[in-house]
Structures are given as structure tokens and as C-alpha cells.
Structure 1
Amino acid sequence: MRVKITKRLVERDLPKDVSTETWIWDSEVLAFGIRLRPGRRPTYAMRWKDDSFRGGNGRDRKMTIGPVEQIELVDARAIAKQRFGELAAGDDPAEKQRERKRSGVTVADLIKEVAETMEAKGRAPRYVKDFKQQMRDHVVPTIGTRFVRDVTATDIDRILAKLARRPALHNHVRAGLSSVFTAALRGRFRPDNPVMGSTKAEARHRERLLTDTEIDDLLKALDANPGQNADAMRLLWMTGSRPQELFAMRWTDVDLEAGVWTKPALTVKQRRTHRVTLQAAAVALLRRMREEAGEKSKSVFVFPSDGRHRHSEAGHLTTIKKFAAKVFKAAGLRDVRPYDLRKAFASRLVASGADLRTVMSLTGHTQVAVLLKHYAHVMDGKQKEVLEKVFGR
């Protein structure tokens, strides 16, 4: 039977019991399908003849990709395409798989390869940096020296259990591990992904929103501590930008006459060019900074690095955490981060009744669901007002 294998078919429509070996062939990738056997778990697998690419009718060959409940369909299909290409080129993917198993590769080695692949594909430097740090701190000490083929689901659960009280980090590490073992599948280091089946932590979204009084206190504290870092915090509040996007701002990205900031795709989280209109106060602040920098400034960045920090090779500011902590304390604010200035900006747009498309165009959100997830509690405050306006007398 040849059909387009779908997620629904895999999860709901596979035969529960078969009396003999049965194959469901995929209509998109030749030689790829789901193998069903009596008393065994369904598996993604490949089947071909030894000399089928030379017009012959040679020995029947089979190769398992992995159990359907442990491998995502898109990953299994990608692996099959790669191996089908090897068959067409005259290679033997089954023999390569056996060679990989014999030689072995450690988790630490594979993490390094995955990071290099991320960099080669143009992933954001901050993303790659965070991946390396998370793997170095939470994965390598536990299973770094283990062969990839020997890692079990229990090993993965043990790593994630240590992060149970830090749901955001738990999910980031889990995603990183999944990338590593998906690469192991593609590289034929093992037939399954031990991360599949592990549970994502339920992230607790921060609902801390700065009040108007707190913003006023913060601005006064910034006035008392002038400089580049203070200007960066002011612009975080005025633009609602993500900190890393703001820090990488270049003078050529800003049209002060039109009041428009064009964020290059390389610096934006969604990897898309983002044009955003600046409010008058932000334009005035940037004009003042441009004048202070003067024509002698050699940096292309609005917030150039001072060269004293370990990340100064980026050429621009990369963090203001220490300065922000000092200013927040001076303003009497607790449990606040620089990122909360973005949330303060967006929450006021949402509470003003601005349509979601406008809010998304200003903040750079690309999915309504994500915006609502973070600001639903702000919109709740508009319910009574809307009900009274529509139904009240």
C-alpha cells in the first residue's frame, strides 16, 4: 500500500494488530515507509534491492530508521531522502550505519558538530552561544563522554529532572538535546531519538508589568546615571525592542528624518527584516546621541563597545545587566529585568485598544497566539469597558 504518510496516520490510523509483516509505503519518498510486524512496535524503515538502481533484481535489503513514537515524521522522511540519495550514488547506507555503530562518537563531539552546523546555516550568534553554554553546563558534565549510541531515555530524564524548577531553561536544554539526537539520526549514529517522549516543562510567563509611577521613578534614576547604558534603557522603553536587537543598531539602520528604524534580518529573532516607526521622543534621543558621538566616531554602531568586555569583538554593547540592576535598585524596583521594558511598552499598546496588527508591527511579534499568551491578562482589563460600551445603557 502506497499513501502519503501523515502525522494523523502515524498517531491514529495505523493498524493495531497485523498477522504478518506489512509495509505502508510513502508516496513522497521512494523506498521509505512504515514497517509493521506482529508483536513489534511500528517503525520507520527503508527497503530496496541491492542492484535496483542498475536495473537488476538483487538481494532484498531492509534498514530501520527508528520507532514511530520516538522520531518525528519530518525527521524520518529527511533521513530517508538522504539515504535514498546515497543509494542512487551507489553507496550502501546500511553498511555505513553499521560502520557508525562500530566507530562510535561521543555526545560532546556531536554537540560541537551541531553548533558548527548552526553557525554555517546562519543561526543568530546569540542562539548558538546560548546552545553551547546550555550544553556545556547541563549536558556535557553528565553524558559528554558517552557514545551517542549508548545514551538512554533515562539519561535524558535525569538531566531534565535537575532543571525541573527552571522551566524555561528546562525547555531550552530539551530542545538543544533534541537537535543533537536528530543530528545523530541523520548521521546514522543511532536509530532513535531518546529525547522523544520526554515532557516539556510548563513555562510560567512573567506577568510583572511596570506601572506609570514605576516608569517615572526609573526615568529619574536614569537621569541621575547618564551615559550609553542609560540611553539604551530609555530606548528599550521607547521602542519596545528586544535588547539584543537594540544593542546591534547601526546608524545606517536609522532614518532620523523619516523616523524609521530598519532592523536587518540578521539581528531580528524571526530572521526577517523589520521596519518600525519611532516615536518623536526616540528620534530626539537618537539625534542627541548622534551629535554627542560627533563626526569623529569611527563605530558604525549606535551603542559601540568600549573594548573592555570579553564580548567586545562584536563591536557593540552586548549586555547592560549590571547597570540595569543598579538603576532598578536606585528606583526602588524589585523583580525587574531590562526585557520588562519591552513588556511595559507592548502592554500599554494592548491596553490602549490598538488593533493587534499594529501592536505586532511595532513589537516584531509574528504570531498572534504568542502575543496573546503574554498579554492576555492586560486585555482582560478591557472586558468591562467593552461590555458596557456595547450592551450598557
Structure 2
Amino acid sequence: MKKILLNAAKIKAELERSELGDVFDTKLPGYHIRIGKQSVSFRLTYRNKAGKQQVITIGRLGVLTPEQAREQATIMLGAVALGQDPQQEKKAEKEQAALLQQQTVGYFLKHHYCTYQSRKKSGSQTIQMIEKHFERWLNLPMQSIGRSQVESWQLSKEAEGLAHDTIQRVYGALKTMFNYAVKRAVLSENPLKHIGLEKPPASFEDEEDASDSRRYLSEDETAALLDALERYQQQRRTARANSRAHGKAHLPDLSHVEFVDHVKPWLLLMYYTGFRPGDLFGLRWEQIDFQTGTITKVIEKTAHHQGNNRSFPLSSKAVVILTALHAQHGKPAKGLVFPSPVTGKRMDKKAMQKPWAKIRELAGLPDNLNLYTLRHNFASQLIAKGADLLTVTKLMAHTNIQTTIKHYGHLVQNKAKEYLDFL
């Protein structure tokens, strides 16, 4: 048994001899190095309380210095003196690490949940949804997911512009997978069991359900709105002309374009289609048929239980707006109709808050008049022109006629009174 004082200089000299094997320390019993063909490792030989000789690898030379390895060996020998077995503890740690690996979101999804979901009609979609929306969690142990992670995840999805209903559906899919992990005894309990999502932040999407927002525009308010859109455009044209005249000639000339930006066509389309903001933000050119004057798309608010395309006829005024906007953008075959002017991607769900406030100010409309007034005005005008509730239900993309009756049924009753007055 070869022995030297294991320090950097002595080990270097030993390596220069190119002899493979174990070299023990003259100072600390059992502490030694093993010189291999590819590397040198620090090791410790000891006997456990049963008297059986054990060898444990402390680390590799280059990762640890001889002094650091000696210090760890000393600690291990102290544990042996107390009846502990470092080798068994290391083995248990490896087993625990392997178990934790099996309990990661990604491992369980790939090796267990995929098989389970493959028996279901929409199983592959569920797997893809979890992989897409929880990509950052795939390497995390399922048991480590807690409230702080869920809150951060929800905030990130809201920042991406996902509707709250969609976020709930995706989160529900993950909780269901965790429940299956409990059933398979991979988890002792579901760590998400008592963790719910926070209520969505106040936004235009919430305004649809506000009782005081279901009103329509008067004739004067409609005229003021349309005039404000023109004045907004003129202000933008004037501001751009001034910028171009004072050192910013590289900016596009707005004096001869139909729309100075997305604000006027976006608001007019909501006025003439009654679409929800999310459906306008997500509207794509390939969903518009200019020949038939229709839009065919999945309605975002109800996509989780009505995922089929729905077709909506367009008024002639809506077609004129879209045709002009299409031509202004070079008649693209696909892509977002209203991309972000900054990123080119989908606009944030709050992107129309400031523009709407500006238009409302120019029109002299009440400060509490929310954007959804345009949608409700659309329904109200349909009924005023004699449309039946089934037609209104279809054009408003309501899931059932009861929703239409609940919010607009009173207008039909008022119309019926007018008909009676003709008798």
C-alpha cells in the first residue's frame, strides 16, 4: 500500500510517474486517491458498524482540492464514529434523486400521463396544452409546485394575453394530471388541491358583465363618436407632418392613407360587428372572405367548450373598412389584421384602453362609458331594426338564446309595444 502526504505538490509528482492505482494519505486513515486512465478521484475507505469495509468516492481532482477533499473525509469519518454509514446515505440520496426525477412534471407527463391520455379522444391535445403552457415547470418535481409558482405562472399567462377562461382551463388540466399522479401513488397528495387562481384583473373583458354597461348609444353620441374618430385621425396626421418637417422625414407620411393607425378601423369594426375585443385582437386575414362578406373563426371566450369555427356575415360598411385596411397593408393573404405596431405580434388585451379614453374625450362621451358599449349598441340596434332574438344570439356569438333574452329581452318587449301602437 503506497502512502504519501496527499497535497497538490505530492499528487502532481505522483501523476508524473504515470502509475495507476490507489495512493493513501499518511495523515488521515482511509483517505486516498485513485489514479485512473481518465481522471483522479478522492476516496475514503472505512468500516461500518457491522465491520464491513466500505469505499466512498468524495470527488474528482480538479473539482476539489486535496485540502477540500481531506476536510470532507474528516467529516465522514466523524459520522462513521457516530455509527453512521456515508456510503449508504449517498446511495439513499441517489435513490431519492431518482425518485424525484420520476416525480418531475415532464417525466410523469411523458412516461405515465401520455399513455393514460392516449385512450381519450382529445388526449393528445391535453398533453400538448400542458407541454406548451408549463414548459418552465417540466424539470420541477411536482411536489415542489406551490402557490408562489402558480401565482407567477398566472401573471405570465395574463401578460401573454390569454383569456382568464383559457388560463383556468389549462390550469385545470394540470391539476387533473396531478390527481392522476396521486392515484398512481407517485404523489402522496396533490400539492395544487387547495390552490386556486386569482380573479382576473379589471379589464375590458370584465365590462361585458357589468350591469351598467349594457346600454346603447344615442343618435347624438353615435354622431359624436364618428366625428371623434375623424378628429383623432386628423390630429395624428398633423402631428406626423410636424415631425417630418422638424428632422424626422424618415417617418411615414400619413396625409394620404385611409387609416393613420389601428384605432379607427378597430373601433368601427367593433361597432359594426359587435365582436368582443379578444376576437378583434385575434382576427386574421385568412378568416375573412371578402367575396361572401363573412368572417369565419373560433370565438375565443367560448373556445374551451365550443371549439368549432363559426361564420358571421358582415355589413357592407364593415366590408368597406376591412377592404380599405387590407389594401393599405398590401393585401396580405394571412396574418393578424391588427398586429401590435411595436412587436408585430398580437396586441395586449389592454392595448385599446388609452385609445378609447382619447376617443371618448374627443367625443365628449361620459368617462364611465366603457368599450363594451359598442358591442351592446350593436345588439340593441339589431333589435331596433326588427331582428329576432335567434339572429341576435348568432351575431353576438352567445352560447345560447337565454343569454340574449337575459340581457336584451326587454328591448324586444319595448318593440312589441311599438307594434301594438300601430293597431
With the length of structure 1 as denominator, give the TM-score of the two structures.
Answer: 0.49
Task: Indicate the structure (1 or 2) with the bigger Cα radius of gyration.
Answer: 2
With the length of structure 2 as denominator, give the TM-score of the two structures.
Answer: 0.46
